[in-house]
Amino acid sequence: MSLLFILGAGMLVGVTVTLAQTGSKTWLNPDVGRSDADRAMTIAQLKDRNAKWVEDFVSSGRDPRQLPVVQLETWSTGASSVADARSQSTVVVSGTVLSTTYTADPNNLTESVATVRMNGIGRGALPETIQVDQVGGPAWSPTGGELQELQGDPLLLPAQDVVLLLVPASSSSDSYRTVYGAGVYWITGSGLRAPESNPFASEVNGLSVEAAFALFD
Amino acid sequence: MGALLAGIAVSSVIFPSAAYAGHQYGGGDCWQYGTPLTCRVSWASGDHHHVYLRVINQLSNSTLWNAAVTGCSHWNGSPGPQYCHTTPYTNDSWVYFKRNDQIGAPNGVTYNCNVNGYCSDVIQAMNIYWTEIYEPKDNTNYASVLVPIAAHELGHALALAHHGAPGSNVALMTQGTTRTYPNSIDIGPQPPCSGASGASGVRCIYNGTL
């Protein structure tokens, strides 16, 4: 019944939109008259569909780099200075992203876990490989999907060489997460490159890994 | 499920595109001609142009939830077309407050979803069907910004975008705001959309006449 309602409501609203282009603009809530249970079921079904899409994306081995990146804006912009980033981080490392996995949850945001091989350690003591947890990953969209990441935390992707400022993800795990807003720097042929959203990118861009270690030490 | 997907497929054809070039999402004007958007499907034109939100607790944390309720009440008690309740209200639409402890505190993120189930960043122009607001438990370690974060994210649920330089605190919709109430920038002037471009507030989005 509720499924038919979605279709019916969609057609009704579509008609309304069409009318709006020539007449008074009005809008009808597709949920008017529906029970809370029916409304919740509709949302749950859509979220299940979205989670299934992520699972299919992962199982089919699709490359997340093929998806357009969408940043999810947040209340915080994160660390605002080198000193801020330095004080927030407990570990500073360089490494190579070996692989990433994505875990879909219909009741939450997709979780990304990157396995990173250590190439150098600026501060802290770490094993040869570590896991970095991030919020985001592939997400369903009507145009074939998108790669969603938090505004201040670019998703790590396989084969990237990076410098990372990290903190333990929790006291009960061996995983890490990046310092928000200033935790990820890509290593390129011309030195480090910070994401555009990084507030002190100009101080970091072009640095060598060793110089970056010194900056954040 | 097949019927649902069929419905979604048809709706995808009928409903406006999520991205709408030239549209000042967050700056307002969703009620005006020239855009198919209304910004929140539960917006009711012709009835003083109200929009009703119902916040739903999925936080499993009373401190976070109390802040969410306070933020909701601050929008509800402010001028403008918006109402915010914890209880059912005719023609309401839903805002889930949810936990994601992987997000570093203090922080919050709003995930707006349209009737096709497309959920994305708040800057993506869409007719919002439901909203999910995520906060980490560790926000409770930052008592002074608990209500600002909740109220700020509720502004996104109303289709408002960020306003002003981060940290400038000029409005509730400024990133990093410590404000607990929407101000004249967030609400917007009367008549709706008569203010500066990009600073039109929630009145402009819904043609709020109150």
Q: What is the pLDDT of residues A38-86, one digit of tens each?
A: 999 999 999 999 999 999 999 999 999 999 999 999 999 999 999 999 9
How many angstroms separate the CA of residue A214 from the nearest CA in chain B? 25
The encoded tokens of residue A125 equal 């003591």
Determine the pLDDT at residue B27. 56
Question: Which residues in chain B (178-207) have CB-CB distances under 8 A to chain A?
Answer: none
Determine the pLDDT at residue A9. 44
State how far the Cα of B196 lies from the Cα of B165, in Å rounded to an integer.
Answer: 16
Question: Which residues in chain B (82-111) have CB-CB distances under 8 A to chain A?
Answer: 88, 91, 93-94, 98, 100-104, 106-111
Interface test with A, best of B107, B137, B180 (most A CBs within 10 A): B107
Determine the pLDDT at residue B198. 53
State how far the Cα of A155 lies from the Cα of A151, in Å rounded to an integer.
Answer: 10
B45–A70 CB contact, under 8 Å:
no
Q: How confident is the model at residue A25 (pLDDT cuts 50, 70, 90)?
A: low
State how far the Cα of B151 lies from the Cα of B57, in Å rounded to an integer.
Answer: 15
Contacts of B6 (CB under 8 A, 6+ apart): A7
How many angstroms separate the CA of residue B102 from the nearest CA in chain A? 7
Interface test with A, best of B102, B115, B163, B173 (most A CBs within 10 A): B102
Q: What percentage of chain A carries pLDDT values higher than 90?
A: 79
Which of B11, B91, B176 comes nearest A6 by C-beta?
A: B11
Cis peptide preceding B81, ω within 30 of 0: no
Torsional class of A148: left (φ above 0), alpha (ψ -120 to 50), beta (otherwise): beta
Of A102-111, B15-24, B136-145, B186-195, which range is least confident? Answer: B15-24
Which of B102, B119, B176 comes nearest A50 by C-beta?
A: B119
pLDDT per residue over A85-118, tens digit each? 999 999 999 999 999 999 999 999 999 999 999 9
Q: Is B170 on the interface with A (CB under 8 A)?
A: no
A29 or B106: which carries more pLDDT confidence? Answer: B106
Determine the pLDDT at residue B11. 37
Is the ipTM, as predicted for this complex, more than 0.85? Answer: yes
The pTM of the full predicted model, rounded to 2 decimals, is 0.87
A101 or A7: which carries more pLDDT confidence? Answer: A101
How many angstroms separate the CA of residue B183 from the nearest CA in chain A? 17
pLDDT per residue over B162-188, tens digit each? 888 999 999 999 999 999 999 999 998
